[in-house]
Structures are given as structure tokens and as C-alpha cells.
């Protein structure tokens, strides 16, 4: 029986693997980072696996928040402050800065 390996392109995750902000597969229980700089969330859209912890860090000189439609919201984050959330269910979680509602982001959680 021929069990030849399928070719893998360097720097590419296996077919069907969820992508993170860096374009790599995110193992369950891993951690990702979102920065807040120049009145923007970066990355604005983050795709992760269930069980991943995401940490937002405010790098701006003004305060911001990470405000979801559910109850897992950050306090006011001053420069250098962080907020973390572990995503335990698949879905798309949109959020804004409640101080600057033009700032939008989302976390797409896959199984």
C-alpha cells in the first residue's frame, strides 16, 4: 500500500485548518494577541479555534474598551492595559470600543 505524503507548501497550514492573524493553524488552548493602535484593532478580524485565549493590549495614549454584545467586556483600558478572553464556543464575536464606536473588530471561532 502506497502511503505517500501529500505535499505541503512551506509556511502554509494543512488544508481546512483555521487561520490565525499570522496565517498559521491555532492549536486548541493557544493564545492570540490583538493590539489597539491608532484607534484601530489589529488584526480587525481574528480567526481562532475553540479554547483559544485572546489578549487585547492598548498601545494608544487614549483609553479604549473591548465591548462585545454579551457580558464579556473589558473595563476601560488605559495605555499598556490588557484584557483577555478565552473563547469556549464556535461563532463570530463582534466587538467595538464603546468610547470610540467607529472602532470595530471580530473574533471568528471555529471547532
70 domain-assigned: yes
**By the 8 A CB rule, do 21 and 44 touch?**
no
Predicted pLDDT of residue 28: 52
- For 86, the domain range is 31-110
91 domain-assigned: yes
Q: Which CATH number goes with the domain that contains 71? A: 2.60.40.420
Number of domains in the chain: 1
- For the stretch 13-60, pLDDT in tens is 333 333 334 344 445 557 899 999 999 999 999 999 999 999 999 999
- Tell me the C-alpha distance between 17 and 106, whole Å: 19
Predicted pLDDT of residue 109: 97
pTM of the model: 0.74
Residue 9 dihedral angles phi and psi, to the nearest 5°: -80, 130
Amino acid at each position: 500500500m502506497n502511503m505517500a505524503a501529500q505535499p505541503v507548501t512551506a509556511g502554509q497550514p494543512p488544508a481546512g485548518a483555521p487561520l490565525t492573524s499570522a496565517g498559521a493553524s491555532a492549536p486548541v488552548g493557544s493564545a492570540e494577541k490583538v493590539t489597539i493602535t491608532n484607534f484601530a484593532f489589529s488584526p480587525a478580524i481574528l480567526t481562532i479555534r475553540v479554547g483559544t485565549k485572546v489578549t487585547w493590549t492598548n498601545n494608544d495614549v487614549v483609553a479604549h474598551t473591548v465591548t462585545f454584545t454579551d457580558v464579556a467586556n473589558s473595563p476601560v483600558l488605559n495605555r499598556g492595559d490588557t484584557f483577555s478572553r478565552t473563547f469556549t464556543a464556535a461563532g463570530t464575536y463582534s466587538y467595538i470600543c464603546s468610547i470610540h464606536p467607529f472602532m470595530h473588530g471580530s473574533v471568528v471561532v471555529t471547532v
